[in-house]
Structure 1
Amino acid sequence: MGSKESKPVESIPDFDTPWRSVDWTKKEDLEEELTDIQLNHPELRHVRILLHGPVGAGKSCFINSVQSVFKGEIITMAGEESCANKSFTKRYKSHTFINSNSETLPFIINDALGLEKGESNGIDPEDIVSALKGHITEGYKFNPISPRCEEDQDFIREPTLKNKVHCLVSVVPANAISRMDDSLIQKMKYIRKKATDLGIPNVVVMTKVDADVCPLVNKDLTQIYISRKIKEKMQDCENRLGPPMKSIFPVSNYHEETETNNTKDVLILTALLQIVKCAKEYVSRQHTTRE
């Protein structure tokens, strides 16, 4: 008997209408809202945002993309490494941002050495927890073998709200979340739980949404919330890491472009606005608690 011919696998159709609304004409409004955010706190001029995630996820690229949006041209202020297996970031550095009108924006973003699979590779999660609590000094060089401890000379023993992180952002690549090593996932979940225990809000920025993940989005980024594949990747992230879908923001970083474009800008600004709002809410709670 001849073998039966296998039926071709039918692709699941994309959605007819966007399942998350985005106004692609609101770039200037988003920029203005982010520029004009008032913290209403006597000790702070900026909220502090900390990025963490696996090596090659696009953390430094996200920082550069944010600055590119506000400058209106491609900017490189945080080092990027083209090799996905190597982290360029070695030290704890605060990145401030200035718009095209030379105004300093009300947020700071810190990057950290990338997480790696296995017990003794990449940054020790305890270093990120120390950063969350405000114990890590500017310029601290990450040591995968030995995390920062209280006995270290430049350990900040009594951190102020200014030293602490006000929002944790987990950066994950859409093209790898479903096959990310379990040890990496456990490290990220541990860090997110520590942030939650400290009352620090945490969200997810999903990068590389147009890196061979979905042909529709690769062709037209405005179709990102029409794409069923992108929603599936976000659901993978929700299932593996634990954040609700409303806290996951897909973005497309500037990587190979030489000029900025409105669509990428709107996605980046939309994610950033939610992150800064979360950080501001945390700061407000801390201020209210102290009064």
Structure 2
Amino acid sequence: MKENKLGRQKGALEYINNYKPQTEGQQLRILLRGPVGAGTSSFINSVQSVLKGRMCTLALADTTTHGCFTKQYTTYKIQKDNSETFYPFVFNDIMGLDHQRGVLVDDVKLAFTGHVKEGYVFNPESKLSEGNKFYNKSPTVNDKVHVLVCVVPADTLFSMSDETVQKIRDIRLEASRLGIPQVAIFTKIDRACPEIRRDIRNVYRSKVLLKRMRKFSAAVGIPMNCIFPVRNYSSEISLKEDADTLILSALSHIIGFGDDFLKKKYGC
């Protein structure tokens, strides 16, 4: 059983390390969004940590949920070890989907089509206008989003407001209209289920987690086979094999979906 797990982990890591879009210079843009406190920044840090084999902090993360920590549109690149090159995929982490002070759905739509420039500070009161210096009038394929990832805190799923769920669905519908593939990442799974807290290997046997995944799938329309449970690194000082496996599995699927979209939409 352990050999099978190690084999899957090695296979996912090899796929990620060897991934290269078929067009030279093309990069795969992954947009992360979710409710305030979902762990979007922590997921970026966890991915970098697993790929580098040590704890890393690329995106600043907040341990509280009092308002949104990420407010600026920022692109995160991960450098390959012992190399001056970067992985050909990048992450964008946007302001949380708080129903009162979160990012506007209209701004997320602009990000999809590459109209939001690096460094734009999201304003929950008004959307980015064409006259703003952070409005990109001539976006390239590299500026556009190629896969949308909804990061969902499994432990507080049932307390998520109807307005936040509707925001998630509205954004998903716009992504669907543009043909952008969408997946969901379930974070904080150990807080949602005592079985997983005891042993993360119980993740696919947990009825508690399965119930929450099904509820979310029914509410927003993301299929069950596009929802991936992970345990982000936040308090640990060393990597753990079982957590690595979940993160690598999720990332390899995200890259695969995004690459399919690039080839189909742009021939890249």
The partner residue of 1:280 within 237, 259, 262 is: 259
Shift of 1:227: 1.1
Name the one with the larger helix percent. 2
| Structure 1 residue runs of 4 or more that deviate by more than 6 Å after TM superposition | none
Shift of 1:223: 1.3
Q: Can you list the C-alpha shifts for 1:136-192, whole angstroms capped at 9, x where unaligned? A: 001111111111122223311221111100000011111111221000000110001
**2:205 matched residue in structure 1:** 226
Q: Percent identity?
A: 37
Please state whether the residue corresponding to 2:142 is helix, strand or coil: coil
Please state whether the residue corresponding to 1:83 is helix, strand or coil: coil
User: Which is worse superposed, 164-173 or 139-148?
Assistant: 139-148
Contact 1:96 1:108 in 2 (8 A): yes
**2:102 matched residue in structure 1:** 122
Please state whether the residue corresponding to 1:27 is helix, strand or coil: helix
* Paired AA for residue 88 in structure 2: P
The partner residue of 2:44 within 36, 60, 63 is: 63
**2:56 matched residue in structure 1:** 75
Measured in 1, the distance between the counterparts of 2:180 and 2:214 equals 23
The partner residue of 1:159 within 121, 130, 139 is: 139
Say yes or no: does 1:111 pair with 2:93: yes
**1:142 matched residue in structure 2:** 122
**1:183 matched residue in structure 2:** 163
**2:216 matched residue in structure 1:** 237
Contact 2:118 2:134 in 1 (8 A): no
Measured in 2, the distance between the counterparts of 1:106 and 1:218 equals 34
- For structure 2, which runs of at least 5 residues remain unmatched after alignment? none
Please state whether the residue corresponding to 1:200 is helix, strand or coil: coil
The partner residue of 1:204 within 171, 184, 191 is: 184
* Paired AA for residue 207 in structure 1: T
- For structure 1, which runs of at least 5 residues remain unmatched after alignment? 1-21
**1:34 matched residue in structure 2:** 16
TM-score (norm 2): 0.94
Shift of 1:43: 4.8
CA RMSD of aligned residues (A): 1.5
User: Which is worse superposed, 197-206 or 94-103?
Assistant: 94-103
Measured in 2, the distance between the counterparts of 1:71 and 1:206 equals 23
Say yes or no: does 1:84 pair with 2:65: yes
Measured in 1, the distance between the counterparts of 2:171 and 2:105 equals 7
Contact 1:41 1:284 in 2 (8 A): no
Contact 1:221 1:263 in 2 (8 A): yes
The partner residue of 2:153 within 154, 166, 173 is: 173
Please state whether the residue corresponding to 1:225 is helix, strand or coil: coil
Measured in 1, the distance between the counterparts of 2:180 and 2:96 equals 20
**1:267 matched residue in structure 2:** 246
Shift of 1:262: 0.8
Please state whether the residue corresponding to 1:23 is helix, strand or coil: helix
Structure of greater Rg = 1
Say yes or no: does 1:100 pair with 2:81: yes
Contact 1:64 1:77 in 2 (8 A): yes
**1:256 matched residue in structure 2:** 235
How many residues align? The count is 264
Please state whether the residue corresponding to 2:107 is helix, strand or coil: helix
